[in-house]
Amino acid sequence: MGDIYQKGIVCIYLNTSDRNAYLSAYTALGQLSKTPVGDPTPRISTTTWYNLLHFFSQAWFHRMWMIQEFVFAESKPLLLFLGGHKGITETELRDGAWALFQQSSHILTVEEDYVLRSAVKQYMCLAEVKDRVKDGRECSFLTLLWTFRDRLASNPKDKIYSLLGLLKPGVDDDVVEDHPSSATLCNRGLAVSELIVDYGANVEDIYASLVKAVILGTDSLNVLCACQSPERFERSWVPDWTEPWSRFSLLTNSIGLVPPVLSKHKFNSSVGQKPVIEFAGDLRSLTVEGTLNSTVSVLGFRPPRCTDSYWIKDWFSNVEQKLKIQISLMYEEDLESVFEPFLLSVCATNTEEDGFIYSEALAEEYCLPFTGASSAWKEMVRTYHDGTLNEEEASNFMIDIRIAQMLDGRKVFIGENGHCGIVPDHTEEGDLICVLYGCDVPVVLRQELDHYTFIGECYVRGLMHGEAIRAVRQGTTTSNQFVII
């Protein structure tokens, strides 16, 4: 199909019975496409806001299979409204969508505004992928999976197969020598020979083969961090790509479509240490190596409808004294000063010293909305976008927004040795905090009788930038082997 889209003229007909609604959206997008960045005009009427919401909610913007037809179209695609009565070029649509994303609506409800932003995000990410593919810039298969996870497909296998057409055949010079059969698809990090391409195969088996193909193609375990719920499949280490994002991924800066200023700030827990991994012959389990750094001792929950971060301070104040002492010893800080450094490290731009990732520029960044965002976070973003806060209030509010974003679907934890951070909400006391070789962030594992269950990625202050790996190299800690089922 890719060849057809490249050689043909792609016209997209969006059917609707309401001609006036599409004419209204067409006119608004045309005006917005000519609007300078940051200009609050043109004013958008109540009716037009809802027409734009309806337009970007069309199924075409949310389906997996339309990605190819958009990305590979060599001529500018023409979106035909109302059987050809009105059309808008790709350039006009892109410029209009970007301007719309920066508009603040007092007309739509918080939920409607978020639906619109998320829908525009779907289109903007699509446009970014097209630019990267066209220019030959880096855009790995894992980035495609990460970016389009929230899209819809009638067949769960098409969450994978619909993206294969974006790859260009060729042998990558960086194929891991230990895996000569892992000829990757050029510049995309996928050992395609390991992937089961068979509509008759079991979905979990296909997704398991994808994990192997991505790990061998990227020489990284980061794909495991797409696992959100260990009970989705029999294998806890296999992500279910039909499940939308329920949490803001800690690997957004490493894998997602983010501006260069953010991609420079990546977590690097394994500091280039290559994965040591072995797959069972039937792909029922995988064996990896890494460090065991802590055991979860206590967990904290954000109170319902809480919109500030000070509950964390109260929570730290009320933990057992022996844990406070362990935290103080771990981070060499005064017992009364635990809260602020922890808060800053969770909010920081992945270096713990460069300020806050949720800056004013990022408040408008289209990569940030995610499906599982809570109502409280959406309301906070609306308040921030409204522009009613003064400079000091906005600066403080950014911290609360960032904490709320990071804690959606997560809990605060303290380990028995004083490590603290945030973990998936299905983490339990007694679970293990580990750094796996080849993974950019720490993970939570649960020890069973003769194996481990993969719980998910986590943030641990003091383990995000290679500290565990350096301890192994210095001989102050040892490697462990984990058989994960």
Dist CA 236 CA 452 (whole Å): 9
Q: Which residues contact 260 (CB under 8 A, 6 or more apart)?
A: none
Q: Which residues contact 419 (CB under 8 A, 6 or more apart)?
A: 293, 294, 330, 433, 460, 461, 462, 463
DSSP-assigned beta bridge partners for residue 433: 294, 444
* Residue indicated by tokens 């389906």: 63
Dist CA 416 CA 119 (whole Å): 43
Beta strand 443-447 with 410-415 is unpaired
CB atoms within 10 A of CB 348: 17
Dist CA 412 CA 420 (whole Å): 7
pLDDT computed for residue 351 by the predictor: 52
Phi, psi angles (nearest 5°) of residue 287: -115, 125
Phi, psi angles (nearest 5°) of residue 384: -65, -40
pLDDT computed for residue 100 by the predictor: 86
Tens of pLDDT along the chain (485 residues) come to: 556 656 666 677 766 666 777 778 888 888 888 877 656 656 788 999 998 998 888 888 889 988 888 887 765 555 655 445 567 777 888 888 888 887 777 889 988 988 888 888 888 888 888 888 777 777 889 999 999 999 999 999 999 999 998 886 544 444 444 443 334 455 489 999 999 999 999 999 999 999 999 999 999 999 999 999 888 899 999 999 999 998 888 998 788 776 665 666 789 999 989 999 999 999 999 999 999 999 999 999 888 777 677 788 888 888 888 898 898 889 887 766 667 777 777 766 555 444 444 444 444 454 456 677 888 778 887 887 777 888 788 777 777 877 888 888 999 999 999 999 999 999 999 999 999 999 999 999 999 999 999 999 999 999 999 999 999 999 999 999 999 99
Q: What is the DSSP string of 328-369?
A: HHHHT--GGGSHHHHHHHHHBSSSSSS-BSS-TTGGG-TT--
Dist CA 206 CA 281 (whole Å): 15
Dist CA 230 CA 140 (whole Å): 25
Q: Can you give the pTM of this predicted structure?
A: 0.88
pLDDT computed for residue 75 by the predictor: 56
pLDDT computed for residue 155 by the predictor: 97
SS3 label, residue 414: strand
pLDDT computed for residue 350 by the predictor: 52
pLDDT computed for residue 294 by the predictor: 98
pLDDT computed for residue 453 by the predictor: 97
**Which H/E stretch holds residue 79?**
strand 78-81
